[in-house]
Amino acid sequence: IVQGEQRRIYGREEKKQLLIITPTYIHTFQTVYLNCLIHTLRLVSSPLIWIVVEAGSISNETEDLLSSSQLSHLALEIPMPEHLEQRMNFEMKLRVEGLR
């Protein structure tokens, strides 16, 4: 309601397109987290492109979930590092790969 009122007052009718890149890897709650993101992103009124970059091999659950949601899915054949410090840097590399 507030955003609609601001658009009415300030005259901004156009909505900017959003590009969202989500790095992920195969783990127990991966599909649960991605499903929550799908439902959250459906509430966004702006046009958006969502790219999920998955480390390791392509998981069937993720592929099924994303294909039914009509979202882009990119998989890399590089395993996710186990150490937290290395994982943060690796997630940044996955985001860059998603931008490519």
Of 96 and 3, the one with more pLDDT: 96
Amino acid 12: pLDDT:
64
Question: Does position 9 have pLDDT exceeding 80, yes or no?
Answer: yes
pLDDT 10s digits, 32-70:
999 899 888 888 878 888 888 888 777 788 888 888 876
Listed residue (11, 6, 38, 7) closest to 22, CA to CA = 38
For the whole model, what pTM was predicted?
A: 0.72
Amino acid 7: pLDDT:
76
- Tokens matching residue 58: 């392509």
Distance (Å, rounded) from C-alpha 27 to C-alpha 30? 5
Rg (CA), the chain: 16
